[in-house]
Amino acid sequence: MLNQTIFAISDDNGALPELCAGAKSLASRVIAVVFGDSSAAEAAAGCGADAIRYCPVSDEGAPEDYAAAIAAAVKKEDRAFVMLNNSIRGRCLAGRIGVLLDTPVLTSVGAVAEEDGALICRRMVYGGTAQRSERFAKPYGVATISGGAFEPSAGLPACTDIAQLEGEPEGGIRRLSRAEKKEGGVNLVAAKRIVDVGRGLAAEEDLALCRELAGVLGAEVGCSRPVAENNKWLPKSSYMGITGVQVKPDVILALGVSGQVQHIGGINKSRVIVAINKDKAAPIFKNCDFGLVGDLYKIVPALIKKLS
Ligand SMILES: Cc1cc2nc3c(=O)[nH]c(=O)nc-3n(C[C@H](O)[C@H](O)[C@H](O)COP(=O)(O)OP(=O)(O)OC[C@H]3O[C@@H](n4cnc5c(N)ncnc54)[C@H](O)[C@@H]3O)c2cc1C
């Protein structure tokens, strides 16, 4: 474990326990930064951090307004590592903090480990066909961490060192309006069971079959990228892979998914992968724990009957 501070920063309190658990396994002190008033910090008290600093973002403001205040807090340390969640906001904030700390930013980091006194970040490159390991050559490092990189710890004592972050927001961005997204999203990162729908599904109405299976399994429904991007049968937030959501449920059931490396990169941390595909040469069979060669239109109804 390194004798230094890690800042765990998230615009989504739900991602904080995972970031803090990872940070705590790597460094002696973890400071969490949340966006909102003191009640947001109180709500995050069980995240596992040694201290929590909150940034009271105004209704018209944005987390990025606090980049300078966060960088100033980081600079109080001789060396520090800044981890942010890998959301769009997290990446914007990371860029600004990186500039202010005069250090590069690594995005979509899938794993961080301590080796020989340094933090090594690993992430997928070349469309998921290779993995690159990098470390910062400067005293400060900034990285956005993909969901599922760490395992959150449960039952932690509530943090009592809670205070407002020192410094004023810059106010460079002003929100004009906020509208709810029309597409209903699912939280695949937190799902314990997922039915993963691929292009083997012949028609949009057949999603009802997949949803029925998900219902009896108590699972969420996710998909491969073309099902969301090309067919537009499910929201884009439902597709898994290196450019989509990275999940690690207890079990994932891949229906008519070929198993291309870009998709596997998003599901390969699942505890158990079950694949149903009619092509016995499909690459998914090299990446699953249980494989069924056959027509999903015959197997899924039989599974629903058996499991109901
Ligand atoms: C830069 C880049 C990034 C990408 N990022 C992602 C990503 O993040 N996520 C992602 O998913 N993809 C991504 N892709 C696309 C990826 O390469 C694949 O094209 C995609 O994952 C394939 O989706 P699929 O398996 O659903 O479809 P297909 O590859 O078309 O496979 C369909 C499968 O269904 C099987 N099948 C057909 N009918 C049946 C049936 N009745 N019963 C059982 N099986 C059946 C077929 O045998 C086939 O194996 C990316 C591509 C690029 C170039």
CA dihedral 80, 85, 89, 93 (to 10 degrees): 10
Quick one: which atom of ligand 1 is closest to the CA of 244?
8
CATH number of the domain where residue 159 is located: 3.40.50.620
Q: Do the domain assignments include residue 175?
A: no
In short, whether 241's Cβ falls inside 6 Å of ligand 1 is yes
| pLDDT value for 185 | 67
Other C-beta atoms within 10 Å of 249: how many? 24
Q: Do the domain assignments include residue 236?
A: yes
On whether both 152 and 200 belong to a single domain, the answer is no
On whether both 268 and 126 belong to a single domain, the answer is no
On whether both 200 and 154 belong to a single domain, the answer is no
At which of 164, 184, 214 does a domain end?
164
Range of the structural domain that residue 24 is part of: 2-164
On whether both 31 and 139 belong to a single domain, the answer is yes
In short, whether 25's Cβ falls inside 6 Å of ligand 1 is no
At which of 123, 144, 164 does a domain end?
164
10 within 8 A of 84, measured Cβ to Cβ: yes
Can you tell me the distance from the alpha carbon of 265 to that of 241, in angstroms, rounded to the nearest whole number?
A: 5
**Is 95 or 177 the better-scoring residue by pLDDT?**
95
Q: Do the domain assignments include residue 300?
A: yes
Average pLDDT over residues 222-247: 94
On whether both 202 and 61 belong to a single domain, the answer is no
Query: In the chain, at which residue ranges do the beta strands (DSSP E only) sit?
Result: 2-9, 27-35, 51-55, 80-85, 105-109, 111-115, 118-125, 130-134, 140-145, 162-164, 193-197, 220-223, 251-255, 272-277, 290-293
Query: How many structural domains are present in the chain?
Result: 2
- Report residue 230 as tokens: 């090309």
In short, whether 242's Cβ falls inside 6 Å of ligand 1 is yes
Can you tell me the distance from the alpha carbon of 20 to that of 18, in angstroms, rounded to the nearest whole number?
A: 5
Closest by CA position to 288, among listed 270, 300, 301, 303: 270
Helices (H), 64-190: 67-75, 88-101
On whether both 139 and 237 belong to a single domain, the answer is no
Mutation test of ligand 1: which of 129, 146, 255, 277 has the most ligand atoms closer than 8 Å to its C-beta? 277
Encode pLDDT of 94-147 as tens digits.
999 999 999 999 999 999 999 999 999 999 888 778 899 999 999 999 999 998
Q: Do the domain assignments include residue 127?
A: yes
CATH number of the domain where residue 210 is located: 3.40.50.1220
| pLDDT value for 182 | 67
Distance from residue 233's CA to the centre of ligand 1 (Å)? 14
On whether both 247 and 300 belong to a single domain, the answer is yes
Output the CA angle 155-195-18, nearest 5 degrees.
Answer: 25
On whether both 206 and 138 belong to a single domain, the answer is no
- Percent above pLDDT 70 for the chain: 99
On whether both 78 and 141 belong to a single domain, the answer is yes
Mutation test of ligand 1: which of 195, 237, 257, 297 has the most ligand atoms closer than 8 Å to its C-beta? 257
Quick one: which atom of ligand 1 is closest to the CA of 243?
8
| pLDDT value for 171 | 79
24 within 8 A of 30, measured Cβ to Cβ: yes
On whether both 121 and 219 belong to a single domain, the answer is no
Q: Do the domain assignments include residue 92?
A: yes
| pLDDT value for 58 | 87
Encode pLDDT of 1-47 as tens digits.
899 999 999 999 889 999 999 999 999 999 999 999 999 999 999 99
